[in-house]
Homo-oligomer: A and B are copies of this chain.
């Protein structure tokens, strides 16, 4: 690859990094092309050499951010039961540190309510990333999971995302911490409700 091409590739990488941080910290609108480019060490004019418009950047930054999120959250495969896995990953996700670190936190949670207002291309991207995260959680393609496990995984993700979002939306740290704890406990229980009870729902 020519040196110019690698330069451009590196610039693009830095832009996506900066955009990912801004996206999670400031939301979809809170980005600002000039601010992102400046954080990437460039000026606003260079933007259109990399992306055709802001929406395209936003989608790419979302993908980029969630790949990082999944790598850090899911880590390497473990020897554990489904129930253990749900409990362990919930405790790893619902921490005070995750709540407070905005710039590199889970983009699904950081954007959950704003995503609904995005255009359909953005929502398609969001959905794809959610499905990838579900597959990572299940350690296999989400579409091939047995129905009950798929439903568990969906409710589980909704609980994690909702808990983290609420814990940030709230003003008092004490309530935020209690939310995290209550959410993690409930998430750990999603895997093992009494089976006979679940059969005749």
Other-chain residue from B130, B172, B178 in contact with A151 (beta carbon distance below 8 A): B178
The reply to whether A155 and B115 contact each other, CB–CB distance below 8 Å, is no
Q: For the complex, is A120 an interface residue (Cβ under 8 Å from B)?
A: yes
A117, CB-defined interface residue at 8 Å: yes
The verdict on A116 contacting chain B, using a C-beta distance below 8 Å, is yes
Kindly supply a per-residue 1/0 record for chain A positions 173-197, scoring 1 wherever the CB is within 8 Å of any chain B CB and 0 otherwise: 0010011011101110110011001
Chain B residue with minimal CB distance to A116?
B168
B116 and A169 contacting across the interface, CB-CB below 8 Å: yes
Q: A109-B113, A112-B112, A193-B189 are in contact. Are A183 and B166 (CB under 8 A)?
A: no
The answer to whether B169 and A182 touch across the interface, beta carbons within 8 angstroms, is no
A158 contacts which chain B residues (CB < 8 A)? 159, 162-163, 165-166, 179, 182-183, 186
- Which residues of chain B are near A194, meaning CB under 8 Å? 194
Assembly of this chain: how many copies? 2
Q: Is A67 an interface residue (CB 8 A)?
A: no
A123 touches B169 (CB 8 A): yes
Band of interface residues on A: 35 or more
How far is it, in angstroms, between the C-alpha of A109 and the C-alpha of B115 when the chains are bound? 12
| A79-118 interface with B by 8 A CB criterion | 102, 108-118
CB pairs A–B below 8 angstroms (21 shown):
A26-B117, A27-B114, A27-B117, A112-B162, A114-B114, A115-B169, A116-B169, A123-B170, A151-B178, A151-B182, A151-B186, A154-B178, A155-B183, A155-B187, A156-B186, A157-B166, A158-B162, A158-B166, A159-B159, A162-B162, A189-B197
Residues of chain A having any CB pair with chain B under 8 Å: 25-27, 29-30, 102, 108-118, 120, 123-124, 126-127, 130, 150-152, 154-163, 165-166, 168-172, 175, 178-179, 181-183, 185-187, 189-190, 193-194, 197-198, 201
